[in-house]
Amino acid sequence: MKVLNTAKHLFFEPILALRWRYAPLLLIYFAYGAQALTTVALTFWEKENLNIGAEQIILITAWLTFPWTIKMIFGQCVDHFPILGSRRKNYVYLGALLMALGYVMLYGIAKEAAWMTWIGSNFAQYLAANLVAIFGFVIQDVTADAMSTEVAERNGKTESEIQAELTKIQILGRLALMLSSTLVAGIGGYLASVMTYENIFLVALIIPLISIAGAALVKLKTPEGVGKFDPVILGGGVAFAAFSLVMAFQNLTYSQEIVFGVSLLLLSGLLWRILKDQAPEKVRLIVMTLTAIFIFRMVPSTGPGFTWFAIDELGFNEMFLGSLQQISALTALALLWFGTSFIANQPVRLILICLVLAETFISIPEIALYYGWHETLGLSAQTVALWDTAAEGPLTHISMIPMLAIIAYYAPAGNRATWFAVAASLMNLALTAKQLGVKYLYQIYPVERASENTTANYDLLGNILLSKMAIGFVLPLLAIVVLLYALPKNQSK
């Protein structure tokens, strides 16, 4: 009976934690996860139709992290500048409008429409369309982050009860995101195999409608108070945004590195400004935890090379890649669903060390596929890829939970969006560092995909895979040991 009750508790805990007032922010996260609907189509479109090289695609990916690093601008707007009297709902609508515009622009590029050519080359058009859509997602994300700290019931509750509810809200947000990713991943692979790319982008217009539904159908709670407007944060964010955009189109050799360095200095300064009135032990806890997670998230990935290798050499098609995405999302969803209590109650250092070891372990199947070890073992490439994907799926989402829970708990009333945005922007800047690492690996070990004009050359891909595994093990493990060793055990949770 005890085992049965435990099983019921594990299965129904996320459901029992739901509240109707959570619906708007959960639907925003659901819409964000649903953007995976176009992932497979974009992968094949980039490879087969767009006249864009590997380094340009990596460059686009890096610049698409830029809007996430200036979330503090939108945080100040959401906190202090209502749109037609609303500091929440109308920002959700604005984000949805930009998302829809971005998908329409992608449709125009795929159709080779004349009204898109004024932007310039395929590279400029593709970058512009993706940036517009990403800005929409960022605005909605900032708004949802602020709401995630406001929907918790604080009246008449102890600090531990408030912290527990905020943690559950963050877990529910991850679950909503992963649930939508699971639902659309397989659909995206199927659509990519039976529909034209331009029609898939039109189908994607349903994504902004999901977030609109949440804001329209549920009466949002009026945010309590208005915090002190900080012109330094807004002015610094605007100046940095202008600087980054100018750098993006200057085609300088080290423009990405310059933007990354300036971003890191700016965001670190803003975080310090926000934390200056907090207790020293609280500042130490937040800074050391965010630093460890930053280093974990900046470890370079394998980049597009392995996906190209899987398509050209292993024969993976649209349907199978879509299935891999679905399996990745499903395993992440299952682990977070049934492991919410365990994950929420473990020390941050233990969670991150486990993630580093897991990340290293799951690098082995990709290396095995490249060197053909699966053939020696009598396994198909698809089988190895399935196991690899199932193991890798939960890692990114789990690494976010400690960060989000800490940020949500310490968010000050009246400035919740700004607080959340600055800390999250710093964490997203780690993804820019990740892309820079990928770029350096591909410069050291060039890889060529198969196309109409070029022959595939994956001779150096193995070096990239091995380098990625080594960096992913040594760098974050050292950071975790050094940075979190000094924390008392009661502060490492």
Compute the Cα dihedral for 309, 186, 438, 247 and give only its sign: positive
* Nearest to 109, CA basis, from 57, 42, 55: 42
Instruction: Return the ∠ at Cα 274 (arms to 268 and 275), rounded to 5°.
Output: 85
Amino acid symbol at 319:
M
Q: Give the integer Cα–Cα distance in Å for 406 and 284.
A: 12
**CA gyration radius, the chain:** 22
- For the ranges 117-131, 226-240, 343-357, 390-404, the maximum mean pLDDT occurs at 117-131
> Which token pair is 203?
């189908």
In the block, residue with structure tokens 């995909």: 449
- With beta carbons less than 8 A apart as the criterion, state whether 41 and 189 touch: no
Query: What are the C-alpha distances in Å from 443 to residues 379, 448, 480?
Result: 32, 12, 29
DSSP 5: H
Candidates 389, 394, 326; CA nearest to 183 is 326
Interval 183-201: pLDDT, tens? 886 788 788 788 888 888 8
Match 């922010």 to its residue by tokens: 25
All domains of the chain in start order, with CATH: 23-491 (1.20.1250.20)
pLDDT in the model for residue 104: 92
pLDDT for res 277: 74
Task: Give the HSE-up count for residue 441: Cα atoms under 13 Å, Cβ half-sphere.
Answer: 27
Given a cut of 70, is residue 171 above it in pLDDT? yes
| pLDDT (average), residues 298-324 | 78
Q: Confirm if 490 and 317 have CB atoms less than 8 A apart.
A: no
**What's the confidence (pLDDT) of residue 86?**
79
Please report which confidence band the pLDDT of residue 222 belongs to, taking 50, 70 and 90 as the band edges: low
Token pair 């900080």: residue? 230
Tokens of 277: 């009135």
What integer pLDDT is reported at residue 489 of this predicted model? 52
Residues of 29-38 as b/e, b for ≥16 C-beta within 10 angstroms? bbbbbbbbbb
* Tokens matching residue 380: 């198909």
Cβ pair 488, 284 in contact under 8 A: no
- pLDDT tens per residue, range 255-273: 778 888 888 888 888 888 8
Contact (CB, 8 A) for 13 and 341: yes
Predicted local confidence at residue 4, as pLDDT:
52
pTM listed for this prediction: 0.70
Q: Which two tokens stand for residue 12?
A: 């129904």
